[in-house]
Structure 1
């Protein structure tokens, strides 16, 4: 009986540790990814290029402007960090790295459409609207 209690206690402690690592690990990774991406965009001048590309592409501009009037109280996330957490849960790190490499190297219109379709297939409509709202807020603040 003592061995059984010890086994149950050990399993419970390990489960709590695993939950803590998962919860705080995803937060840590989300914070790190957002910090790196934001710093890279600002220092490399890619943020200005991205803004120009959005202004010059009416389809992309219309797509992002859908988030302009979104009711933020009804969105599943409101900050970049929360969005990163959701994306880390929906996509594995290899997919995120692949996307990041493609974006850095430049993407054709068909590749952009393929990426958008892939993202839309994994996210709900509310999550997509929240991403559009965040993108609009960040790009046009």
Structure 2
């Protein structure tokens, strides 16, 4: 009977550890990825190109205006870590990777990528993503 209790306690402890690693791991990984990508884009001058591209595209600039006007207190998430968890849960890593590859290779436009995400996320989640993207592009904290 004691062995069973020890096994159950160990199982609970390992389960809690796995949840903590998932929760904190996605936060740390997403923050690190975003910081590195932003740093690389700033150092190579591509961040200015992204800003120009977004501002020249009427649909994308509309997203930016929508993000500027958003009430952040009502959004379902506010950090890249939280956004990462929602995207992985609702869209899936495989689909996210497919979208990323498509946009990078030019076989998918950014608008098509947004449309794919809109089909899987709620309006509030999309608005939260737009706000996070706006903050990252324009270095808002």
The two structures share one fold, judged by TM-score above 0.5: yes
Q: How does 1:1-141 map to 2 (within 5 A)?
A: 1-106=1-106, 111-140=109-138
Which segment is superposed worse, 63-72 or 131-140? 131-140
Deviations 1:91-138 (A, max 9, x none): 444444444444444466xx3332112111222111111122233344
Which segment is superposed worse, 40-49 or 89-98? 89-98
Gaps of 5+ in 1: none
Look up the SS of the partner of 2:67 in the other structure.
coil
Gaps of 5+ in 2: none
Higher RCO (C-alpha under 8 Å, 6+ residues apart): 1
Distance 1:59 1:119 in 2: 15
Q: How far has the Cα of 1:90 moved from its partner?
A: 3.4
Whether the 8 Å CA contact 2:26–2:81 is kept in 1: the answer is no
Distance 1:84 1:72 in 2: 17
Which segment is superposed worse, 76-85 or 65-74? 76-85
- TM-score computed with the length of structure 2 as normaliser: 0.79
- TM-score computed with the length of structure 1 as normaliser: 0.79
Q: How far has the Cα of 1:71 moved from its partner?
A: 0.8
- Number of residue pairs matched by the alignment: 139
Q: How far has the Cα of 1:81 moved from its partner?
A: 4.0
Cα RMSD for the two superposed structures? 2.4
